Amino acid sequence: MPADTVVTRNDTIREIVVTAQSPRQRVSDVQVGAEQLELDDLRITPALFGENDIMRSIQLLAGVKSESEASSSFQVRGGTSVQNQVLYDDAPVYNVGHLAGLFSAFNDASLSAATLYKGMIPAAFGGASSAVLDVNAKSGNRDAWHGGGTIGLLAAKASIDGPFDGGRGSVLVAARRSYLDLFMKLIPDFKDNTLNFHDINAKVDYVLGSRDRVSLTFFTGYDNIRLEDMMGMKWTNLASTLRWTHRTGTHSHSQTSLYYSGYNTENGIDLLGMEQSFTGHIRQVGLRQNFHIQTGSHIVETGLQTTLLDVKSAEWQIVNNHQKEKRRSWDNNIWINANLNFGQWLKLAAGLRLDSYSALGGTMYYGIDEEGEIIRLYKKKSNEIVKTWVNLEPRLSATLLLSPSVSIKAGYTRTTQNIHALRNQSLSTPFDRYALTSNILKPEIADQISAGVFAVTPDEMYDMSIEAYWRTISNVADYRDGKTFSSEIEIERLILAGKGRGYGIETSIRKNKGRLTGWLSYTLAWSKTRIDGINGGRWYDANNDRRHDINIVCMYQASKRWKVAATWVYNSGQAFTAPYGKYEIIDNWVYYYPERNSYRAPAYHRMDLSATWSKRTPKTGTLSQWTFSIYNAYNRYNALLIDFEDSSDGARTKAKQYSLFGILPSVAYSVYF
């Protein structure tokens, strides 16, 4: 729970509220590199396919980039999307998108607030070497029943919430489904194809007494893509948390959370009558205990967490060849974090987290040589410890208020990540291969220092910031030369590990009041990798290295009923590896790649527009909205992927750009009561 959580209703624990962050609080808050966002703050971007996409709104913040065209995945300060941790009421969510990222996995009707930690991460969080997005599920209204729904071009959603048992309890249920597959069945050429998703969110809260409250949060999402009998893809998310909040004193409380998270993928291909299937999963169950104590202006949090992980990196069936790699682990953490105020001008946040990770037996482990060849096999009994890694993670952040309107902030954080992902190409897909830290694969350890100046005008009309960061990471992995996503079932044989670094400067200015509001942000950043055995051991640009990033967001209240919005984003082109030449071996052309990621894709830029008409019926209080939006307003075809193809005689090779979307208009109708 964030440090600014407060308990309302005096002597009861009726409701826990995450307070909004005002412009002045952004200046005075002790956390450097943290963005606290209310749902209303996130619902300001033009909607793709009529959806208010929470993840895409986060991508417009300084230092945050979209991973690719229309993707829900995001990258923070030189990290990759798989180095982020996304929590939904304490339960991890491993895929944050539907239909390969075109839609966010989160239905905004089920969300209340979110906090993105991109700098100093509180010691209560761990397991991510880049950033943490802590998402709070919305609780139902305790006083009256409310509901709403939206019909867009490709999907519809509905929600309802309200009280029960005289207001001691509340419930919220939200559901969403796409219906593109229903239209496809009307077209003869596409009637045997399937393209759909659905998700369900639910939360039940109940007050047991003046000191105790329990809640149950549930989320499930399902995607299914099938192209006749040639190819099929499915992936599912499941996350659930049972939480007990107990008020131990006037200024203290504890939270106990039992959570489960499951993520499954399934991919099948029929190639010339030869069936191939690929599956994988992550299953996680954990228990988390957190204690929160406030003494005067000081806040101390301490806690512990234990987690069991089961990861199937891959299982494939190619004709009669069946292979599987599966690993299990036990992760234990304890932490303490303190927010201290020294007078009116100095604030300090200090934390320490201990991570003890153990790889468990029950499956095959092996040793490899420098070329990645297996030289030893061994298998320990189930639940027997194969290897234990222990890491200490200090966290520190300080804020010096030069005046009520200007502050200087600095921070340091170390984080450890034990879940690793090997991605297909340079894009995150639902079929990234995941692996656990093992006897060979070491934990990723990231260190980041950051410092900045933050200011707000006396009337809070404007606030601005400039922040610099330096981030290093050890044991970051990349493909061995000549290896691909599915070259080997043993994931450690595909990769080599080394060092990474990222550094940059983030600037932003916001306008907070008036009919015209919004912000402008610019990020100058570098992200590099050095691994012995790759690129001659020299530093090279990481796949996600993008030098320049610009975000412009504008909202204008044109009248009582009309609100218009516009965003413009610009990113430098993504680094990729291109062949320098080719040679012929037995009538086959083989590409020659002397350097890693030495070429750049064309720059990415896009403008989105939206207009929303709203009307509230005085007698019933019903709110109706029409939202008209245009994604990619000037119809630029940005590069999603660049591949290479030969001419028919093999004499010439040319690069070919693949794009996802041109201009996409959409309309949606919403009603809330």
Task: Spell out a b/e string for 466-492, using b for 16 or more CB atoms within 10 Å of the CB, else e.
Answer: bbbbebbbebbbbbbeebebbebbbbb
Q: Which residue has the tokens 């806040």?
A: 299
Of the listed ranges 155-159, 175-179, 317-321, 597-601, the one predicted with least confidence: 317-321
pLDDT at 550 over 70: yes
Domains of the chain, each with CATH number or no CATH: 5-329+346-366+383-672 (2.40.170.20)
pLDDT confidence of residue 500 = 94
What's the whole-number mean pLDDT along residues 576-596? 77
Q: Which residue has the tokens 């070429």?
A: 599
Choose from 110-114, 171-175, 630-634 the range with maximum mean pLDDT. Answer: 171-175
Q: How far apart are CA 343 and CA 191, in angstroms?
A: 69
pLDDT confidence of residue 7 = 34
State the pLDDT confidence band at 388, using cuts at 50, 70 and 90: very high
Q: Other C-beta atoms within 10 Å of 334: how many? A: 16
First-to-last alpha carbon distance for the chain, in angstroms, is 30
Q: Is 183:191 a contact under the CB 8 Å cutoff?
A: no
pLDDT at 305 over 90: yes
Sequence-ordered strand ranges (E) for 457-602 = 462-479, 495-511, 516-530, 540-541, 548-557, 562-571, 575-576, 581-585, 588-592, 599-600
Element (H, E) at 261: strand 252-271
User: Is pLDDT larger for residue 272 or for residue 539?
Assistant: 539
What's the whole-number mean pLDDT along residues 294-305? 93
Q: Which residue has the tokens 């809330």?
A: 672
512: region left, alpha or beta (phi > 0 left; psi from -120 to 50 alpha): alpha
pLDDT confidence of residue 18 = 37
pLDDT at 14 over 60: no
User: Is pLDDT larger for residue 100 or for residue 252?
Assistant: 252
pLDDT confidence of residue 1 = 43
The pTM for the full model equals: 0.90
Q: Break the chain down into helix, strand, coil percent, rounded to 5.
A: 5, 60, 35
What's the whole-number mean pLDDT along residues 102-110? 87
Q: What CA–CA distances, in Å, run from 608 to 60, 81, 299, 666?
A: 12, 23, 42, 11
User: Is pLDDT larger for residue 265 or for residue 49?
Assistant: 265
pLDDT confidence of residue 21 = 65
pLDDT confidence of residue 53 = 78
pLDDT at 164 over 90: yes
Q: Which residue has the tokens 């209703």?
A: 9
The percent of residues in the chain predicted with pLDDT above 90, rounded, is 54
State the pLDDT confidence band at 42, using cuts at 50, 70 and 90: low
Task: Spell out a b/e string for 404-429, using b for 16 or more CB atoms within 10 Å of the CB, else e.
Answer: ebebebbbbbbbbbbbbbbbeebbbb
> In the predicted model, what is the mean pLDDT of the chain?
87
- Per-residue pLDDT of 136-154, as tens digits, reads 999 999 999 999 999 988 8
pLDDT at 271 over 70: no
What's the whole-number mean pLDDT along residues 334-338? 97
Q: Is 64:72 a contact under the CB 8 Å cutoff?
A: no
pLDDT confidence of residue 177 = 93
Q: What CA–CA distances, in Å, run from 399 to 404, 439, 521?
A: 12, 41, 22
Q: Is 476:497 a contact under the CB 8 Å cutoff?
A: yes
What's the whole-number mean pLDDT along residues 122-146? 94
Of the listed ranges 234-248, 414-428, 435-449, the one predicted with least confidence: 414-428
- Per-residue pLDDT of 461-496, as tens digits, reads 999 999 999 999 999 988 888 787 777 888 888 888
650: region left, alpha or beta (phi > 0 left; psi from -120 to 50 alpha): left
pLDDT confidence of residue 49 = 66
pLDDT confidence of residue 313 = 84
pLDDT at 401 over 70: yes
Q: Is 630:664 a contact under the CB 8 Å cutoff?
A: yes
Q: What CA–CA distances, in Å, run from 249 to 10, 211, 246, 294?
A: 12, 9, 9, 10
pLDDT confidence of residue 425 = 60
Sign of CA dihedral 83, 88, 91, 95: negative
- Per-residue pLDDT of 44-75, as tens digits, reads 566 666 677 788 888 899 999 888 776 788 99
What's the whole-number mean pLDDT along residues 24-34? 83
Residue of 206, 213, 197 lying closest to 246 (CA atoms): 213
pLDDT at 10 over 60: no
Q: Is 281:311 a contact under the CB 8 Å cutoff?
A: yes
Q: Which residue has the tokens 């009337």?
A: 459
